[in-house]
Amino acid sequence: MDSPRSGPSSPRTTPSRAKAPTAEKQPAPLGPADSDDDDDDDEGPSLETMRAFGRQVQRAPTTAAPQRIVIPKRGEKDFEPLNETVTIQEKMLRESRQALFDGLSGVRGTSSKNISHATLSTKSPFPQVEIIHGNLFLTLGHTIRPPFDPAQPKPTTPASSSMELLPEEALYLLERGSLQIWVHPSAYDPQLTVQEQEMVWNDAQAGFEGCVEMSAMEAFSRFIGRDGLTLERYQVYAGLKRLGYTVQRTERFLPPRFRKPASRASQSACPQRTRTTVASVIRAALRRLIAPFLSVRDAIRRMVAPLVGRRGGEGAGLLGRVTASGYGALYSKLRIIPSGHAHPSTKTPRTPPTPSADPFACLDVNPYLPFFHVWKPVTHWTRAKWDRGSVEGLESLPPDFWIAVVDARSVPFPTLPQMEEIFPSLPAIPTPIIRPRPAAPPRGGKPADAHPAPPTAPQGLLTRLRALISPTSPPARPPQPPQVNTFQALKQGDRSLIVAVVDGGNVGWTRLGRGGFQEHVMVPNEMM
């Protein structure tokens, strides 16, 4: 807002140089101090802008007349304005205050054509959309179809499906003013019968009869802390949606009501990390049978090893007398600790997690599990391709990011077992390769050919006769694999997880990647 000292007709006049009603004076040139004041005045919104905004905002319905704002004047002042400018300054102050209060007194409203309506009752624990307006539901909501029982006779009329919202989806639409949720009394009193739960839309009341509109405060208290939704996860979800991203839960953390019928039974609880199979039982039995023979072999080896060491000479090293034909064999002998992600990080057996009926109990043990799939705004996302996060759906419509949400004040840095549980479930990242650059054209000549033809050697008489006798062409050379950009591959890794770290409402983003040096050989191939 402009300073009260600057008028609408002459924004660069000061109170001491304003035109008096009785005399006309030419304004003096601006000094350095006046220029600084004018720069500060130009930074805020102008009075005309505030007036225009105050005329456009929607007013709250009221019958009382607006109260006159009076600012009391107390105490002696070190500086008093000139008498001829008091009236002008008071008018400018009054107009500036009124424009500011007009802009702040508006209420947030929207057209009824852009508001969708949903109901909440004991029929479903999630809001059920009844009236849809706009195209927001192209990426929001889940279609729920009634279960099909082959034993029952086929109905004459097909059963109607409904669209229901996840807690974060309903809260996001309600917070942005695009959805109204009407709560039926059955949500507060489960003793009501099914006939009493029928809802009828009333155009005169612009709502469902016998229902109460849910406020934003009630929505936060009802949806936060339910079905794995925390305040931190909702903040991340709402922030990504406002930026235009498509955000969906991973199939593992979808409520059982929204999953595909084939995966409801298999994913009703947190899956265990190890499964007992017939092959594992046979291997364990064979291992117990040969364990005595292995212990005898190790004892004999410990008895013979000192004698062989004295005969072969002292100072043979940790590996004894090693003969290697190249660097590759030598490095493999020196690697006494197995490397690579295929080997477990520790041989200590881990206790498998206790099965739980709550599908979100895994987040208490490992909060870094991916919770959201995110697609960029340019992705043509459809609900049919996504297929509720199934394996086939993720192959046809792969997510751009896998995101986990943690609280910075209560969750420590992930441990190695936690990361070993996460990375195998993430998709592999393509290895970056070095693209060949086109050859630079010679100076003052024709551009060089990107694929020059090899020089042909002169053919002798025997070569021509051999070609006539056996006209078979020489075997074609196998295509050379593309050269990998080693340093970029080490920096990028083969798996990637985006972690949203929420600290008191401030969201920070970090990336956890998995890489390995054993996959990239630093020694040239001709030296191996």
Give the model confidence (pLDDT) of 327-337 as tens digits. Answer: 777 777 777 77
CA 8 to chain centre: 48
**pLDDT score at 153:** 64
DSSP per residue over 163-202, as a string? EE--HHHHHHHHHTTSEEEEE-GGGT-TTS-SGGG---EE
- pLDDT, greater one: 353 or 195: 353
Provide the pLDDT confidence category of residue 18 given band limits of 50, 70 and 90: very low
Residue 92 has pLDDT above 60, yes or no: yes
- pLDDT, greater one: 292 or 343: 292
Per the CB < 8 A criterion, the answer to whether 163 and 144 are in contact is yes
Give the model confidence (pLDDT) of 138-168 as tens digits. Answer: 999 999 887 766 666 666 555 678 899 999 9
- pLDDT, greater one: 296 or 385: 385
DSSP letter at 413? P
Averaged pLDDT for residues 290-314: 71
Q: What are phi and psi of 118, to 5 degrees?
A: -135, 160
CATH topology of domain 112-146+159-223: MutS, DNA mismatch repair protein, domain I (3.40.1170)
Give the model confidence (pLDDT) of 464-516 as tens digits. Answer: 766 666 655 556 677 777 888 888 888 889 999 999 999 999 999 999 999 88
Residue 440 has pLDDT above 80, yes or no: no
Provide the pLDDT confidence category of residue 21 given band limits of 50, 70 and 90: very low
Per the CB < 8 A criterion, the answer to whether 440 and 448 are in contact is yes
Cα torsion angle, 454, 457, 463, 465, sign: positive
Share of the chain above pLDDT 70, in %: 65
**Which amino acid makes up residue 288?**
R
| Euclidean distance between CA atoms 316 and 314, whole angstroms | 6
Residue 228 has pLDDT above 70, yes or no: yes
Give the model confidence (pLDDT) of 287-297 as tens digits. Answer: 778 888 888 88
**pLDDT score at 449:** 55
**pLDDT score at 101:** 85
Three-class secondary structure of residue 279 per DSSP: helix
**pLDDT score at 518:** 78
For the chain, how far is it from start to end, CA to CA, in angstroms? Answer: 74
* Residue 103: its H or E element: helix 86-104
CA angle (127 as vertex; 123, 129 as ends), nearest 5: 100
DSSP letter at 484? B
Give the model confidence (pLDDT) of 42-55 as tens digits. Answer: 555 677 887 777 77
Give the model confidence (pLDDT) of 201-226 as tens digits. Answer: 888 777 888 889 999 999 999 999 99
Closest among 341, 335, 332, 327 to 516, alpha carbons compared: 341
Averaged pLDDT for residues 239-262: 91
**pLDDT score at 240:** 97
Q: Kindly report, as residue ranges, where domains of CATH 3.40.1170 are found in the chain.
A: 112-146+159-223
How is residue 278 written in tokens?
């017939």
Closest among 173, 186, 101, 113 to 137, alpha carbons compared: 173
CA angle (137 as vertex; 134, 139 as ends), nearest 5: 130
Closest among 367, 375, 374 to 404, alpha carbons compared: 367
Provide the pLDDT confidence category of residue 13 given band limits of 50, 70 and 90: very low
CA 161 to chain centre: 30
**pLDDT score at 498:** 97
Averaged pLDDT for residues 292-319: 68
164 Cβ neighbours under 8 A, 6+ residues apart: 124, 126, 127, 128, 129, 141, 142, 144, 257, 258
- Pairing outcome for strands 179-183 and 162-164: unpaired
* pTM of the predicted structure, to 2 decimals: 0.68
